[in-house]
């Protein structure tokens, strides 16, 4: 009887050990997914260059770090197209503290969404094919 109880205890310990390993793997995979989700690729080179030049603390290569503390300090954004206009503003929606957005002489073809904190939008000399819903 003692041997049987010992075998049962060993079997239960093995099951617990296996469950712990699987749980650790699952948690690790979830953490990798969360860590990966904080970065958003900026597909437009001109917009990337604008962000990299003006807000380097929020960029990691051509990716915007959506958890960067510096995002909380960016309240007014003014983008001017110039010789090489910006066409795609993918990523602008992550500027959650931005209250004023000014876009001058750009050829925006992808304007997916706007920051929810936006209270003022100024467009000048732009060719817009589409304007997303404005924040309430």
Strands laid side by side in the 100-104 sheet? 76-80, 100-104, 120-124
Q: How far apart are CA 64 and CA 56, in angstroms?
A: 10
Decide if 72 is inside a domain.
yes
Phi, then psi, of 28 in degrees rounded to 5: -65, -45
Rounded to the nearest angstrom, the gap between the alpha carbon of residue 107 and the centroid of all alpha carbons in its chain is: 23
Residues 2 and 50 in one domain: no
Do 72 and 60 have their domain in common? Answer: yes
Can you tell me the distance from the alpha carbon of 126 to that of 104, in angstroms, rounded to the nearest whole number?
6
For residue 32, what pLDDT is reported?
A: 45
Does residue 8 register a pLDDT over 70? no
Residues 33, 81 within the same domain = no
Whole-model pTM? 0.69
Do 83 and 111 belong together in one domain? yes
49 and 26, same structural domain? no
- Please check whether residue 44 lies inside any domain of the structure: yes
The two three-digit tokens of residue 40, written as one number: 């958003």
Report pLDDT digits (tens) over 68-99. 999 999 999 999 887 788 889 999 999 999 99
The answer to whether position 30 is within a domain reads yes
Is residue 136 assigned to a domain?
no
Write down the pLDDT at residue 62.
94
Is residue 135 domain-resident? Answer: no
Asked if 56 and 13 sit in the same domain, the reply is no
Whether residue 51 is found in the same domain as residue 100: yes
Question: Do residues 95 and 67 both lie within one domain?
Answer: yes
Owning domain of residue 119: 39-124
Both 50 and 107 in a single domain?
yes
Residue 13 covered by a domain = yes
């Amino acid at each position: 009887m003692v041997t049987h109880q010992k075998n049962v205890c060993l079997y239960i310990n093995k099951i617990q050990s296996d469950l712990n390993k699987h749980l650790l793997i699952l948690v690790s995979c979830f953490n990798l997914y969360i860590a990966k989700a904080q970065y958003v690729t900026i597909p437009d080179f001109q917009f990337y260059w604008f962000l990299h030049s003006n807000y380097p603390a929020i960029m990691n290569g051509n990716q915007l770090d959506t958890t960067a503390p510096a995002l909380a300090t960016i309240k007014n954004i003014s983008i001017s197209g110039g010789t090489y206009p910006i066409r795609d503003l993918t990523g602008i929606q992550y500027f959650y503290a931005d209250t004023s957005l000014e876009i001058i002489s750009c050829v925006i073809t992808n304007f997916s969404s706007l920051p929810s904190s936006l209270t003022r939008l100024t467009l000048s000399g732009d060719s817009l094919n589409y304007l997303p819903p404005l924040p309430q």
